[in-house]
Chain A
Amino acid sequence: MSTVDMNTGAAPTGGAGPRRRGSVVPPVSGCVLLTLVLFALFAPFLAPHPANAPIGVPYAMPGDVGVLGTDYLGRDLLSRILAGGRSLVLVAAACTFTAGLLGTALGLMAGYRRGLVDAVIMRVVDLLLILPPLVVLLVLTSGAERGPRMLIPVIMISASPYVARVVRTATLDVARSSYVEAAVLRGEKARAILVREILPNVAGPVLAITGLLMIYAIFVVASASFLGVGIQPPAADWSLMIKEGMPAITLNAWPVIFPAACIVVLAVAVNIFAEGLHRRIAGGRAGRRGA
């Protein structure tokens, strides 16, 4: 489940060669991503039909009824596709934000305070990392209410350990550096040191891991909805559409193929963007030091 490899934080490093390429990728993929997100948010207004109203026979082939055909209840596939990205994108963005914030805070504390605070935080993190993220998600949702709002805290808990670990490593590194020691020797307060000296210098790793977090959030939100613990029917949602279309896939695969293609495009765009971001940060650091 977590091929979204937040385990190392340092996902595939870019080559030495494609540095020039790497600098083009983030802006371009960023624009693609932004377009996709805007599309997901505003496309529902373009829908020709209400997303939840039957318009014809179920399982109509593309072109027979509506442009893309109908789903198992005879609802317009095109309208549902246009509406089906919004909650995924919104929930994933909220998860990225909250998990990033919590993970960064925990990582900073663990890395700077060390000692007991570090030990406690890291043991909890280790504990959450034993199980695959999706299983953690299932455990946390099994007793709770279901729905997109519940997903946000649940994913915040299951994803922040990965962020915390990366941020902690970066913080440990920065905290050992001479400029932080110089601040200690000025008698500066811990808060001032964290804000002035450490935070600006772990911003790179935080940004890089946030990219991975975006991938992870889309992944988990989509999978959770598919498993029935995320976005709930009758909402129009790409994952749910796949789930609903699977039983009749040998009859008509289009209700599955269209939403699947949407998720693929979104996921690949996020991935390329995150990798470009990561490479740029890694490359930028190396370049700066070499100069």
Chain B
Amino acid sequence: MSTPLVVEGLRVADHAGRVIVEDVSFSIAAGQSVGIVGESGSGKTTMALALLGWARNGVRLVAGSVQVSGVELVGRPEEAVRKARGRLVSYVPQAPAAALNPSMRVGRQVAETVVGLSPDERAERVRQTFELVELPSDAEFQRRYPHELSGGQQQRVGLAMALVNRPRVLVLDEPTTGLDVITQEAVLAEVDRLRAELAIAVVSISHDLALVAKHTERVIVMHNGRMVEQGDSHTVLANPEHPYTRSLVAAVVDHRAAAESRVADGTRPESGTAARERPPLLSVRDLHAGHGTRRGRVVAAEGITFELRAGECLAVVGQSGSGKTTIARSVVGLHQPDRGSILLDGAPLASRADRRSRDQLRRVQYVFQDPFASLNPRRTVLDSVVRPLGVFKGVRGAEAEDQARRLLDRVRLRPELADAFPGELSGGECQRVAIARALAAAPDLLVCDEITSALDVSVQSSVLDLVNELRRDLGLALLFISHDLGVVSTVAEHVLVLERGQCREFGPVHDVLGTPGHEYTRRLVAAAPSLSAALVRAVPAAPGPGAADITEVLQ
């Protein structure tokens, strides 16, 4: 049998001639799994699509070759390429909800992909495939519409669609980004099993090094559309050679590694004893909150109680929908809780921001999740930081601009960006401005709502460093909302684990994440991707057929 996938000298460019993917070559053997990692803008989705001979509007496969089982997909007539898609090579998209036809029953969406079988055989094949991806295969389930499925089920339907013709190559484009960690782990384990069972070559596009380390045998690192490094996953990620790979690996925040090192060197013990004596800066007592929807009330917080002292950092972790953002918004006064009290230095805070005093507003600052949406697109960066200086401190004119520039410098924003508009900034830069804007108020408490979830790994780690530094230098207290255990373990001393509005566990970070007491925390920790764990667990395989392929192609 011919090699399932051989890519040689692939180059993709847009119509303006800008090159998106340049000189990519690799090949994969049957049953092998390759991860392609890179940050946003590295051209990895363009490349994933190119593996099916497909280019989006405005983009063109310029040169090179993609051969699936010996069939060339680049530069051939559309009709010939189309016949290979879905049969020899198939694709599982990033957002399953958007990639399923909303008005077609899922059974039919899978069935219409099948080629060349009688109606009876086709029904049987669809049923088998649903079972293969561990979905219910009965007629009732097949008659459902995509919106009647959970996110994990939608992704499994995407998998079923990709597998129903038993292709030789499966391309997964960030297949689990929209899913919570527990579902993510289940879906990826599924892919691993199917790969072995059906001897499919799998290409996984991902930004998550931990997932790549755990689920792939080989890795290709992309940067600005080029391959900068490739090889055995564990070797590359454990001992990266290229500087870019090294920086990527160094930027990974890992809850296991962090927890272990902290236990080992015993840093930050102050949060234990002396600190407990101080009165709390923020205390939240028996907080109940929810959202009214057409279908009734959705609970977001149920009897949440915690305290936070000056200079401390408390993380609230949970999956999407667990209510963590609602708690943060209640604290700052953007969400009205149903009951419970929030006290700042012992004084109760009004539930709505517009009923709080200027000083109360000043002392509690909020940093939003989406860095692009948190700055007014029609105001310059400097303007955005000057405004709170005027509002909270009455500083105006040249003095205010001076202070604003110093704040921007404090968050390490290049000075020439002061007069830029947010649209000209990257996500990380926007988030720095948002932090500077919060600091302008000289707050006591910073509420950070998933402030790194929209950022690339390397940017994330620099923003986290900044946050840690500001805490240390300014003695800020932090309420840190996140779904990412790795992030949490690098910034927080205490953690509150939230599930469906209820507090499952509360305590020092290394205790809770190191030795989880509650069943839910255990599942969360087990499913959370960890690069160090993945590298330790897997024994690097001896150079297999994969490595041989690489050398072969490269020569």
Partner of A184, one of B57, B354, B365, B379: B354
Any B CB within 8 A of the CB of A244 = no
Residues of A60-96 whose CB lies within 8 A of B: none
A143 and B334 CA atoms in complex are apart in Å by: 50
- Is A185 in contact with B361, judged by CB distance below 8 angstroms? yes
Residues of A138-197 whose CB lies within 8 A of B: 177-179, 181-182, 184-188, 196-197
Any A CB within 8 A of the CB of B333 = yes
- CB-based nearest A residue for B57: A16
- Return the CB mask of A189-218 against B: 1 if under 8 Å, else 0: 000000011001100000000000000000
Any A CB within 8 A of the CB of B130 = no
Knowing A16-B58, A186-B361, A200-B378, the reply to whether A178 touches B373 (Cβ < 8 A) is yes
**Interface positions of B (Cβ within 8 A of A):** 57-58, 332-334, 353-354, 356, 358, 361, 365-366, 368-370, 372-379, 384, 387-388, 391-392, 423-424, 437, 441
- CB-based nearest B residue for A288: B423
Contacts of A288 in B (CB 8 A): 377, 423
- CB-based nearest B residue for A190: B354
- Is B368 in contact with A187, judged by CB distance below 8 angstroms? no
Contacts of A289 in B (CB 8 A): 372, 423
- Is A185 in contact with B373, judged by CB distance below 8 angstroms? no
- Is A179 in contact with B376, judged by CB distance below 8 angstroms? yes
Contacts of A124 in B (CB 8 A): none
Residues of A18-55 whose CB lies within 8 A of B: none
Q: List 6 A-B contacts (CB under 8 A).
A: A178-B373, A179-B375, A182-B437, A186-B361, A187-B391, A288-B423
Knowing A178-B368, A288-B423, the reply to whether A187 touches B354 (Cβ < 8 A) is yes
- Is A187 in contact with B361, judged by CB distance below 8 angstroms? yes
- Is B358 in contact with A181, judged by CB distance below 8 angstroms? no
Residues of A231-263 whose CB lies within 8 A of B: none
Contacts of B392 in A (CB 8 A): 186
Partner of B378, one of A16, A184, A201: A201
Contacts of A17 in B (CB 8 A): 57
Interface centre among B333, B353, B376 (most CB of A within 10 A): B376
- Is A185 in contact with B374, judged by CB distance below 8 angstroms? no
Any B CB within 8 A of the CB of A130 = no
A16 and B58 CA atoms in complex are apart in Å by: 8
A38 and B15 CA atoms in complex are apart in Å by: 40
- Nearest CB of A to B25, in Å: 29
Partner of B366, one of A182, A196, A201: A182
Contacts of B365 in A (CB 8 A): 185
- Is A197 in contact with B334, judged by CB distance below 8 angstroms? no
- CB-based nearest B residue for A19: B58
- Nearest CB of B to A289, in Å: 7
- CB-based nearest A residue for B423: A288
- Nearest CB of B to A284, in Å: 10
- Nearest CB of B to A20, in Å: 10
Knowing A182-B366, A184-B353, A187-B391, the reply to whether A291 touches B376 (Cβ < 8 A) is no
Apart from A181-B366, A187-B354, A201-B376: 10 A-B pairs, beta carbons within 8 A:
A185-B353, A185-B361, A186-B361, A186-B388, A186-B441, A187-B353, A200-B379, A201-B377, A201-B378, A289-B372
- CB-based nearest A residue for B391: A186
Contacts of B373 in A (CB 8 A): 177-179
Partner of B358, one of A179, A187, A197: A187
- Nearest CB of B to A268, in Å: 29
- CB-based nearest A residue for B364: A185
- Is A185 in contact with B334, judged by CB distance below 8 angstroms? yes
Contacts of A200 in B (CB 8 A): 376, 378-379
- CB-based nearest A residue for B56: A16
- Is B375 in contact with A185, judged by CB distance below 8 angstroms? no
- Is B391 in contact with A185, judged by CB distance below 8 angstroms? no
- Nearest CB of A to B20, in Å: 13
- Is B334 in contact with A184, judged by CB distance below 8 angstroms? yes
Contacts of B332 in A (CB 8 A): 185
- Is B356 in contact with A182, judged by CB distance below 8 angstroms? no
Contacts of B372 in A (CB 8 A): 289
- Is A186 in contact with B58, judged by CB distance below 8 angstroms? no
- Is A187 in contact with B356, judged by CB distance below 8 angstroms? yes
Knowing A201-B376, A201-B378, the reply to whether A182 touches B391 (Cβ < 8 A) is no
- Is A291 in contact with B423, judged by CB distance below 8 angstroms? yes
Contacts of A196 in B (CB 8 A): 376, 379
Contacts of A188 in B (CB 8 A): 391
- Nearest CB of B to A221, in Å: 34
5 smallest CB-CB distances across A and B, nearest first, come from: A200-B378, A178-B368, A178-B374, A179-B376, A178-B373
- Return the CB mask of A252-291 against B: 1 if under 8 Å, else 0: 0000000000000000000000000000000000001101
Contacts of A182 in B (CB 8 A): 366, 368, 374, 437
- Nearest CB of B to A220, in Å: 33
- Nearest CB of B to A205, in Å: 14
- Nearest CB of A to B108, in Å: 29
Contacts of A187 in B (CB 8 A): 353-354, 356, 358, 361, 391
A187 and B368 CA atoms in complex are apart in Å by: 17
A178 and B370 CA atoms in complex are apart in Å by: 8
Contacts of B368 in A (CB 8 A): 178, 181-182
Contacts of B375 in A (CB 8 A): 179
A15 and B310 CA atoms in complex are apart in Å by: 55
- CB-based nearest A residue for B359: A187
A186 and B438 CA atoms in complex are apart in Å by: 10
- CB-based nearest A residue for B388: A186
- Nearest CB of B to A4, in Å: 29
Contacts of B441 in A (CB 8 A): 186
- CB-based nearest B residue for A176: B373
- Nearest CB of B to A195, in Å: 11
A146 and B375 CA atoms in complex are apart in Å by: 50
- Nearest CB of B to A82, in Å: 44
- Nearest CB of B to A196, in Å: 8
A17 and B59 CA atoms in complex are apart in Å by: 11
Interface centre among A17, A177, A201 (most CB of B within 10 A): A177
A187 and B361 CA atoms in complex are apart in Å by: 7
A178 and B365 CA atoms in complex are apart in Å by: 13
A17 and B56 CA atoms in complex are apart in Å by: 12
Contacts of A179 in B (CB 8 A): 373-377, 384
